[in-house]
């Protein structure tokens, strides 16, 4: 188990920047999720941690020791690749046992451990098959078993659950979390899925174009996003964003005008979460009559689209049955503390709030 640190880590591919200077510290035994859009450098970062890619500059340390020059096999890292990377000519059992070949372990002991791990990820019935005879989800679990069998100090998971069906994904989430706690192994999980990131990890790191945008708990990211990017990337359905202009203690957004609690000047972006908007809430700000243009029941919630004074806006209401219909006019508002303000130029969140 190891404490991992990345210091100004960069990776360039012949001029193209994949990772543009990352600083990150991961405590021993922590479970960190890396969340970000496709191509933002998540896999590249993992590959550098595993010792497969060499950083262009910057440092990686395990327990304070610089490992930049340590080969992959000297790092004791387990990794589940995005593409699984199972050995096609070996059976499942041989695949899982493969990392133990290079350790000083008795063959019987190696096999016992492999079977144990296989049972843990529920592939114990498939041990004699070859990867070509497995479904995508089964392959992923074999890859997970292979990563775990050598009891690594650091476990790297590159979208390990992307090919599972919803039910299996849920159980595997809990399984991975449980295994991680049991072994106490420092774990980094790369995912596109914010629910996965927030439910499995202690801490979420949001990446965008090779940089860390923000790191924190799921609550931090949701309630106090550092940037416009994080605000729009975290939360589903996505946050409503409106361009506005602040002057003289007032924020104008299209036809709407909101009083500001703090002094702000200039171009500002107003962010309103669909779930913080409500109809007829007491003490709400920015209440405007909005006309509903679409109603989408989503199971336990209903998503509405409405034309408001701010512009087209989407909001959620709890309950399976829609309470409003298309073309209804509803008084829509939000608790003043829930509105987020961003500086338009820098994209950074402003400390300012909307007044009640």
Partner 1 sequence: MPVFARAQLRRQRINFALFLGPALVLLFLFFVAPIVIDLFLAFTDMGRTLAVGKFTLENFERMFTRDTRLLGALGVTFIFVLATLGIFNVTFALLLALVTTAVPPRLGAFFRAVWLLPRMSPSVVYALLWLWVADPNERGLLNQIVMHVFDMPPIDLRNNHPLLVIILANGFIGASLGMLIFTSAIRSIPEHLFHAARVDGAGSLAIVRYITLPALRWPISYMTIHQTLSLLVSFEYILLITGGGPFYDTTVFSLYAYRRAFESGEYAYGAALSLILVVIGVLAALALWRLMDMKQLLQQPRIEVH
Ligand X SMILES: Nc1ncnc2c1ncn2[C@@H]1O[C@H](COP(=O)(O)OP(=O)(O)OP(=O)(O)O)[C@@H](O)[C@H]1O
Residues at the contact surface with ligand X, assessed by CB under 6 A: 13, 16, 18, 36, 38-44, 82
Whichever of 156 and 302 has its CB closer to partner 1, that residue is 156
Residues 139 to 168 in contact with partner 1, rule: CB under 8 A: 146, 150
Whichever of 162 and 305 has its CB closer to Mg ion, that residue is 162
Whichever of 161 and 352 has its CB closer to partner 1, that residue is 161
CA distance 73 to 42: 21
CB 190 within 8 A of CB 157: yes
Q: For Mg ion, which residue of 34, 43, 84, 277 counts as binding (CB under 5 A)?
A: 43
Contact partner, 178, from partner 1, Mg ion, ligand X, none, Cβ < 5-8 Å per class: none
Whichever of 41 and 333 has its CB closer to ligand X, that residue is 41
Whichever of 56 and 82 has its CB closer to Mg ion, that residue is 82
Give the interface size with partner 1 as a residue count (CB under 8 A). Answer: 29
CB 57 within 8 A of CB 230: no
What DSSP assignment string belongs to 219-281?
HHHHHS-SBHHHHHHSSSSPPEEEEEEEETTEEEETTEEEEBSS---EEEEEEE-TTT-EES-
CA distance 132 to 135: 8
CB 147 within 8 A of CB 77: no
CB 207 within 8 A of CB 34: yes
Distance in Å, CB of 102 to partner 1, minimum: 3
Q: Check residue 83 for interaction with partner 1 (CB under 8 A).
A: yes
CA distance 302 to 300: 7
| The pairing of beta strand 186-191 with beta strand 154-158 | parallel
Nearest to 51 by CA among 74, 31, 33, 32: 74
Residues 315 to 344 in contact with partner 1, rule: CB under 8 A: none
CB 208 within 8 A of CB 37: yes
Whichever of 13 and 87 has its CB closer to ligand X, that residue is 13
CB 191 within 8 A of CB 312: no
What's the order of all strands across the beta sheet hosting 240-247?
Answer: 256-259, 250-253, 240-247, 266-272, 340-343
Stretch of residues binding partner 1 (CB under 8 A), selected from 11-19, 101-109, 120-128, 181-189: 101-109
Distance in Å, CB of 239 to partner 1, minimum: 36
Whichever of 186 and 191 has its CB closer to Mg ion, that residue is 191
Contact partner, 131, from Mg ion, partner 1, ligand X, none, Cβ < 5-8 Å per class: partner 1
Q: For partner 1, which residue of 25, 37, 66, 101 counts as binding (CB under 8 A)?
A: 101
Distance in Å, CB of 40 to ligand X, minimum: 4
Whichever of 10 and 169 has its CB closer to ligand X, that residue is 10
Contact partner, 71, from ligand X, Mg ion, partner 1, none, Cβ < 5-8 Å per class: partner 1
Distance in Å, CB of 49 to partner 1, minimum: 10
CA distance 104 to 101: 8
CB 258 within 8 A of CB 354: yes
CA distances (Å), origin 38, targets 2, 35, 159, 272, 273: 28, 10, 12, 25, 24
Residues 80 to 99 in contact with Mg ion, rule: CB under 5 A: 82
Q: Check residue 277 for interaction with partner 1 (CB under 8 A).
A: no
Contact partner, 78, from ligand X, Mg ion, partner 1, none, Cβ < 5-8 Å per class: partner 1
What's the gap between Cα 190 and its chain centre?
Answer: 7
Query: Euclidean distance between the first and final Cα of the chain, in Å?
Result: 49
Neighbouring C-beta atoms of residue 115, cutoff 10 Å:
17
Contact partner, 274, from partner 1, ligand X, Mg ion, none, Cβ < 5-8 Å per class: none
Q: Check residue 51 for interaction with partner 1 (CB under 8 A).
A: yes
> What residues are paired with 250 via a beta bridge?
247, 259
> Where do contacts with partner 1 occur on this chain (CB under 8 A)?
47, 50-52, 71-73, 75, 77-79, 81, 83-90, 98-99, 101-103, 131-132, 146, 150
Q: State the residues that interact with Mg ion by CB under 5 A.
A: 43, 82
């Amino acid at each position: 188990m190891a404490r991992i640190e990345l210091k100004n880590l960069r990776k360039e591919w012949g001029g193209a920047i994949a990772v543009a200077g990352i600083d990150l510290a991961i405590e021993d035994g922590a479970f960190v999720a890396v969340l970000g859009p496709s191509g933002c450098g998540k896999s590249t970062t993992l590959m550098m941690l595993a010792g497969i890619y060499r950083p262009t500059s910057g440092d990686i340390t395990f327990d304070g020791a610089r490992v930049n020059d340590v080969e992959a096999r000297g790092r004791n890292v387990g990794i589940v690749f995005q593409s699984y990377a199972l050995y096609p000519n070996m059976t499942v059992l041989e695949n899982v046992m493969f990392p133990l070949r290079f350790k000083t372990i008795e063959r019987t002991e190696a096999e016992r451990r492999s079977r144990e791990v296989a049972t843990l990820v529920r592939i114990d019935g498939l041990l004699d098959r070859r990867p070509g005879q497995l479904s995508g989800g089964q392959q992923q679990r074999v890859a997970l078993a292979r990563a775990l069998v050598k009891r690594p100090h650091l476990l790297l998971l590159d979208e390990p659950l992307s090919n599972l069906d919803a039910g299996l994904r849920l159980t595997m989430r809990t399984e991975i979390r449980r295994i991680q706690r049991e072994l106490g192994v420092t774990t980094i999980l790369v995912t596109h899925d914010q629910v996965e990131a927030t439910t499995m990890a202690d801490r979420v790191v949001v990446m965008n174009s090779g940089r860390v945008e923000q790191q924190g708990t799921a609550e931090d990211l949701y309630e106090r996003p550092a940037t416009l990017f994080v605000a729009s990337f975290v939360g589903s359905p996505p946050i409503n964003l409106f361009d506005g202009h602040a002057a003289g203690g007032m924020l104008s957004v299209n036809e709407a005008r909101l009083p500001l609690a703090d002094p702000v000047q200039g171009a500002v972006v107003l962010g309103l979460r669909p779930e913080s908007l409500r109809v007829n809430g007491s003490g709400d700000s920015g209440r405007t009559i909005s006309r509903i243009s679409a109603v989408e029941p989503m199971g336990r919630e209903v998503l509405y689209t409405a034309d408001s004074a701010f512009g087209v806006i989407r909001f959620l209401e709890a309950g399976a049955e829609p309470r409003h219909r298309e073309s209804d006019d509803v008084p829509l508002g939000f608790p003043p503390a829930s509105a987020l303000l961003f500086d338009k130029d820098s994209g950074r969140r402003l400390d300012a709030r909307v007044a009640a």
